[in-house]
Every structure is written in structure tokens, then in C-alpha cells.
Amino acid sequence: MKVRLILVAVALTALIAAGCGSSSKSSSSSASSAGTSSASASSGGSTKPCNASIAIEGPFTGPVAQVGLEQLHFAQLAVANDNKSLGIHVTMAQDDTQLTPSIATTKTESIIATSAVAVVGPSGSQEVEAVGPLLARAGLAAVSGSATLPSLAGGANTTFFRVVPDDDVQGPQDANYIVNHLHPKGVLIIDDDEAYSQGIVKVMIPILEKAGIKVNHQTINGTDTGATLASALSSLVTSQLTSSEQVAVLPWQSASNAQQFGLDAQQQHKTVTLFGTDGTNSPSQFHIPGTYISTFGPDIATSTNPMDKALVKGVAKYGPYGAFGVPTYAATDVVMRAIGSVCKAGQTPSRSNVLAAIKKTNIPASQNILGEPIAFTSTGNLAGSPGYLFHVNSKGKYIEIPPK
């Protein structure tokens, strides 16, 4: 992963200490057991408690629950760590969207009716499309660690932010890697009929075609399950994956579907290099040797950086480590730091002042899990443009490689 500076000893000691706190998986307010410390707000020599509530929206059940739970666990850790290190008391409600826009809309309306001052998420681009304007009208900031559709930034989504690059960064990077390193004559690219998948496909196809690569673009129904899904995947392998397509691009939000597609290709004795994107980043679910997986965040599982090691150890208290959750830690940290800065200024956290503080976010690379500076443009996009790429070796292990 990208090299980062080591935190100063005092800050690192505080972070490691924060990572050793107790946790509770069953409470809808995951930070409630993280301590009740207060931030000092001078007013006649008194200490003003810094209390606030936030919410996280993600797919904690359903077909993509594994990646949603990775996000939840890292968010829980960030809340616990920052409550201790910042001297605040923030609780976090959990709102399960199942990556479905209609459910996300219902959950968002419920969050708006509460005292929540900010939202972590939503996870999926299709969800942000549905609820972004609702959040904006409510003046409620939402910081996502995974929604990458370019059109989400600006427009009606005036309170939306993301700590990951959008598809206008990742799409060209992936397409150019395929052109410059894999050199296929033809590419099969399959979207799963939802906003994220269609968005990145739209970016990649012109680059592939300009390089003289023949593109076979197909679509599956990403909401299919069971026998219907199995039949659709097998049929695609049979009818669309020919010897002309040496690479199959799978920009899906389900790693298990990508694995099944690869297994179907093997069973039908078809040779193809698979290239997955963000949602397929799950070593336990998608591990066909020779596969490439691009993603918006680093895998810190084997990092020797002291901060990373502390966070990998800390997240185990909430659930299994998963790299898909890493950016959501950063997103939650943005929200928590904003609340902390409001309290430090002697104010009571509200939607308006937390939103204003998030806009001013400026976290150095050495002080966050992504190892990249975190600051936002006027439209809520990440100011930088990091990218990550992994190659699956013969043992099914993800090996990070240069993405360009």
C-alpha cells in the first residue's frame, strides 16, 4: 500500500489506547459504551458536555451484507476511538438499507426526524441518488466511504461528501490498465443494471474502444438471486464469453456473483482474465487466481504502520476485518472530527455547524487510515485522486500492485 508518515508518538499512543475500548454489537447506538468524556467549552469556568448523535446507512443484511458489515464495524471503531481521543460522546444509530433505494429513502426520512447531526453513508450510488436531495433539504451532511457515481457531487446533493475518488478517476485508471498491461483484442463488460455499475461502464467503454479493443457490453439484473441469477450468469458465459474476449470486466456490487461467474467460466473451460471493481473487493468471496480487482481504498491487513496495526486489531472487537470497510472508517472520522471541532469552539453540535465543519476538513495523510490527505472540493468530492489495484495470486491471495 502507499507509504505514509508515522504519527508522532503522543498521537499514536492515544490512538492505540482508544482502540482498546470495549464494544457492543447489539446496540443501535454503537458508541454508547465508548465512554462519557466531555469536551471543555469555556463558559464561566464550567465544562459543557459534548453530546451528539449520528447515523450510518448501509447494507447490513441482504445479498451484500458482508461488505456492509465491514463498513459498519469500521464505523463503530471510529466512533469509539474518536469519542475517547476527542473527549466527546457521540452515539451512532444503525440503519440497514440492504443497498435498496426505496429502503434507503424510508430510513433517511426516519433519520431526518431524529436529532442526528450527520450521516455516515449511504453506501451505494443508487441510494445517494434517491436520498441525497432529502438530506440536502434537511441540512444533514452525509459522508460516504463507497458511493462513487460522478453525478452525485454537486447538483441537488449539496450536503453529500465522499472520501473515495469517483468513477471519473477509477474508470479511466482501470481501462488504461487493461489497455496498457493486459492487451486484449476484445473485452466483455457486464453491468448489473444499477447506477454505480452503469456509471463506471460508461466511463470505461470509450477508452477501450479508442484503443482499438472490441467491447461486448451486456447487462444482468443485479437484484436477481438463487436459480434465476445462476441461470443468467451461466447463460452469459455460454453465449457471450467467446475466444475473442480475453478480459471480462465485472463492475458489480456483489463479490459472490463475480466468483460464480468465474467458476462458470472454468467449468465451461473458457479462458478469461476477470477484472472486478469496488464491490467485488472481498478476498473471502472473490478469489479466482489471475483476477484483478480495483478499489477505492487500501488493504491494511498486513501493513506494518503502527496506526494501521492498531486499527486492524481494534476492528476485530466488532467483527472480522474487511478492506471494504477501511474508507468508511475515514468517513466516520471526518464526521467525528467535525463534531469535536464544534464542541471545542464552545458550540452545541447541530446540523448546520457540523456541516460547516465538514466542509473545512483537512486531515493530513499521516493522520488517517487512507494514507492520503482528506479534504473536499466545493462539490463534496475528495480533493485528491488515489487509486488501488490488486492481483489475485495462484493461492487466491490479494497482492497490491501499481494501479497505472
Q: How far apart are CA 142 and CA 117, in angstroms?
A: 10
* Integer Cα distance of 345 and 343 in angstroms: 5
Q: What is the pLDDT of residues 191-221, one digit of tens each?
A: 999 888 999 999 999 999 999 999 999 999 9
Distance CA 281, CA 192 (A): 16
Specify whether the CB–CB gap between 164 and 186 falls below 8 A: no
Q: What percent of the chain has pLDDT over 90?
A: 78
Q: At what angle do helices 351-359 and 326-344 cross, to 10 degrees?
A: 120
Separation in Å, CA 17 to CA 51, 286, 307, 395: 21, 34, 11, 36
Q: What is the pLDDT of residues 295-315, one digit of tens each?
A: 988 999 999 999 999 999 999
Average pLDDT over residues 374-399: 92
pTM metric for this prediction: 0.81
Give the architecture (CATH level 2) of 22-40+49-165+303-386.
3-Layer(aba) Sandwich (3.40)
Where, residue-wise, is CATH 3.40.50.2300 in the chain?
A: 22-40+49-165+303-386, 167-295
Task: Using alpha carbons, list the distances in angstroms from residue 264 to 205, 216, 261.
Answer: 24, 18, 5
Task: Please give the average per-residue pLDDT across 1-21, as a whole number.
Answer: 38
Residues 249-271: pLDDT tens digits? 999 989 999 999 999 999 999 99
- The CATH number given to 167-295 is 3.40.50.2300
77 close to 315: Cβ distance less than 8 angstroms: yes
Parallel/antiparallel/unpaired status of strands 160-162 and 51-58: unpaired
Instruction: Summarize the confidence of residues 17-45 as an average pLDDT.
Output: 36
pLDDT of 11 higher than 70: no
Write down the pLDDT at residue 19: 38
Q: Return the percent helix, strand and coil in the chain, to nearest 5.
A: 40, 15, 40
| pLDDT of 113 | 98
Q: Which residue has the cell 487493461?
A: 178
Q: Provide the 3-class DSSP secondary structure of residue 276.
A: strand
Q: What pLDDT, on the 0 to 100 scale, is given for residue 37?
A: 35
The position carrying cell 440497514 is 96
**DSSP labels for 210-257?**
HTT-EEEEEE--TT--HHHHHHHHHHHHHHH--TT--EEEE--S-HHH
**58 CB contacts (<8 Å, ≥6 apart)?**
68, 71, 72, 95, 96, 97, 121, 122, 123, 328
Mean of pLDDT over the chain: 88
DSSP string, 250-265: E--S-HHHHHHHHHHH
Residue 47 banded pLDDT, cuts 50, 70, 90: low
Backbone angles phi, psi at 114, to 5 degrees: -95, -170
CA separation for the pair 247, 175 (Å, rounded): 11
Element (H, E) at 14: helix 9-18
Q: Which residue has the cell 487500501?
A: 298
Provide the edge-to-edge strand list for the sheet that holds 398-401. Answer: 214-219, 186-191, 247-250, 273-276, 292-295, 388-392, 398-401
Nearest-angstrom CA–CA distance, 202 and 198 = 6
User: Average pLDDT for residues 28-49, to the nearest whole number?
Assistant: 41
